[in-house]
Amino acid sequence: MNPKLLFLIPLLPLLGAAVNILVGMRLRPLWRGGIAVVSVALSFALACLAWPLSAGEGTRTLLATWLASGGLRADFGILFDPLAASMTLMVTGVSTLIHLYAVGYMEQEQDTARFFALLNLFVFSMLCIVLADNLLLLFLGWEGVGFCSYGLIGFWYARLDNARAGQKAFLVTRVGDVFLAVALLWLFTATGHLGIPEINAAAPSLAPAAVTAIVLLLLAGASGKSAQLPLMTWLPDAMAGPTPVSALIHAATMVTAGVYLLCRLFPLVSLSPTGLAAITLVGGLTAFYAATCAVAQREIKKVLAYSTMSQIGYMFIAVGAGSVSGAMFHLLTHAFFKALLFMGAGCVIHLCGEENDIHRMGGVKKKSPFVFWMFLAGALCLAGMPLSGGFFSKDGILLACFSHDDGIHRLVWLLGLVSAFLTSFYTFRLLYLVFAGEARQRTHPHRLSPLMRWTLPPLALLGLFGGLLNLPPAWGGNEMLKHLLAVANEWTADVPHGTEYALAVMAAGLFLLGLLAAWGRYRSYPGDQPNGIKRFLLAGWQADTGIEWTLLKPFRALAIFFGLGLDQTVIEGGLRLLADGAHRQGELLRRSVTGRVTTYVHGFAWGLLALLLWFLLETVR
């Protein structure tokens, strides 16, 4: 297979987007979605066909040179190594299913051409991130997903809240992007390269302090995209977009970009123990923070949003613990079951007549047992039921974290355990509130299109049996993904099988404990009893208010001071004073221009006299 064909993988979705942008509104609605689905499905097929190219060191291929000036050289180049290949397969595969689902979900909508164009563009941008062989192209995709998320979260822009949520996502992730851009420029000046393999190769020659600083900057950039502390406030609000968009953002594309970036540059990242510790800590705190928030959420999609944040936190823990394969493993299984959960949530919302509040749902199992079983599959993976995909991936991460013998990792490991319990609890809370008992509100269910139903089972299977991808030796597997990725500097958890089993039993115990707690509290609807703690958690620990008071208000005050106080009064006032003076001077001079010959001749005569006097004085002297 010609390596150049790899470029078709990102370009096909771009083509689909172009068609929808240019002529989408003239096509029939079914065609718009069809084009989007086919373009992504074709790139999935291509990614499957191209799999052999990723063997060993992978394939690096070049389409054209994008920028070349002095030492700067950025290509439209693809690096198709095992890491990129597995990620590409996941992105295109899950995206295909989400696109199919979206065709069903959006069948009642009007301007779907914009929707599908943005959806395709989203996949294209993500593939740019995944496949780029240099950081500049990666950054292009990085900004691309930011833009597409802005467009898609604010898709129903007629409502101000939605448009605001889009803006918030755009701006908050942009904060992280600034850090990433600084890291990128620093890497370029320090190593003279932009290519990812070159940078990874040159990393050991950098000063340790510089590496630490760069890793921290990268972490800040990744935090923005992956909604980690402290740049996480945009993700719950991002639920304002259509459900397929949430599925796409949370499962296949945007939020995983941060994890992927850290994995991609792992040979560099692994050189800084401080950086690794920071990554672990950020991940652990986010996992815990988001899990507590998810416990109190009322909107079905916000529960899932916080759980995504929490799960991405686990991936960060894995990267920080040095286990790239663990992070990628969790990323893959999470993509499957989170896409499933979001799409299931979309079905639930449709069945309840656009109702989002789980306290007003109930009894959905009776309405559609099929959706219940599918959602249950996803929920079991999320909660970490033993032997499901989510169980193995989460367990691997906790094991890797536990095997480090220092304070920070032990602390994060504990946070991870608590979060695991909370995850199990809020997942079953969600299940009980939504599916159990009787419907608490009379609603008019919308029709579920077959496309929405039949995209769920493949994801359920992938989620439940995703563990086979990277089954640890203790369970009779051979860690396929780990051998496939073969990342340099990868941390190997060197613990006896006994400890491994003990940890697994502990994880299973936490899963059961969460299940029992949720069963005890929610097996029959306990009523809606808001209290102070719940309100605090519902508002995400008041993070928005906190940011409003600590950052935005002082900033706004400063802006008003500089804008109104300094710029408009002092600077503009001074300039206006000068201009007025000049103008008045001009008005005075203007009077001398009378247009009369006599005045001019007088001036001439007086000038002559002055000149003569001057000459006279000069001769006398």
Residue 596 or 621: which CB sits closer to another protein?
596
Part in contact with another protein (CB under 8 A); list of ranges 145-153, 375-383, 496-504, 588-596:
588-596
Does the protein bind another protein through residue 605 (CB under 8 A)? yes
Residue 549 or 604: which CB sits closer to another protein?
604
Does the protein bind another protein through residue 588 (CB under 8 A)? no
Does the protein bind another protein through residue 593 (CB under 8 A)? yes
Tracing tokens 């992105």 back to the chain, one arrives at 91
H helix runs in 470-595, sequence order: 480-485, 497-522, 532-538, 543-547, 553-560, 572-592
Residue 72 or 605: which CB sits closer to another protein?
605
Q: Which of 26, 28, 590, 621 touches another protein by CB under 8 A?
A: 590
DSSP 365-422: HHH-HHHHHHHHHHHHHHHT-TTSHHHHHHHHHHHHHHHS-SHHHHHHHHHHHHHHHH
Q: Which of 594, 612, 614, 615 touches another protein by CB under 8 A?
A: 594
135-153 and 112-131 are packed helices; what angle lies between their axes, rounded to 10 degrees? 160
Rounded to a whole number of angstroms, the minimum distance from the CB of residue 597 to another protein is 5
Quote the CA–CA distance of 337 and 353 in Å, as a whole number.
24
Does the protein bind another protein through residue 597 (CB under 8 A)? yes
Residue 444 or 596: which CB sits closer to another protein?
596
Residue 25 or 601: which CB sits closer to another protein?
601
Work out whether strand 59-69 and strand 72-80 pair parallel, antiparallel, or are unpaired. antiparallel
Does the protein bind another protein through residue 64 (CB under 8 A)? no
Rounded to a whole number of angstroms, the minimum distance from the CB of residue 592 to another protein is 8
Residue 230 preceded by cis peptide, ω within 30: yes
Query: What does the DSSP 8-state code read for residue 82?
Result: H
Asked whether 323 and 490 are in contact (CB, 8 A), the reply is: yes
Q: Which of 598, 618, 619, 620 touches another protein by CB under 8 A?
A: 598
Q: Which of 595, 619, 620, 621 touches another protein by CB under 8 A?
A: 595
Does the protein bind another protein through residue 447 (CB under 8 A)? no
Contacts of 89 (CB under 8 A, 6+ apart): 44, 47, 48, 51
Q: Which of 189, 596, 620, 621 touches another protein by CB under 8 A?
A: 596
Rounded to a whole number of angstroms, the minimum distance from the CB of residue 601 to another protein is 6
Residue 71 or 603: which CB sits closer to another protein?
603
Contacts of 1 (CB under 8 A, 6+ apart): 49, 50, 52, 53
Quote the CA–CA distance of 557 and 241 in Å, as a whole number.
32
Does the protein bind another protein through residue 444 (CB under 8 A)? no
Residue 564 or 616: which CB sits closer to another protein?
616
Size of the site for another protein (CB under 8 A): 11
Quote the CA–CA distance of 310 and 117 in Å, as a whole number.
30
Strand-pairing partners, residue 67, are: 74
Q: Which helix (H) or strand (E) holds 219?
A: helix 208-226
Residue 590 or 621: which CB sits closer to another protein?
590
Does the protein bind another protein through residue 535 (CB under 8 A)? no
Does the protein bind another protein through residue 366 (CB under 8 A)? no
Asked whether 309 and 479 are in contact (CB, 8 A), the reply is: no
The 538-577 site mask, x for binding another protein (CB under 8 A), equals ----------------------------------------
Contacts to another protein by CB under 8 A: 590, 592-598, 601-602, 605
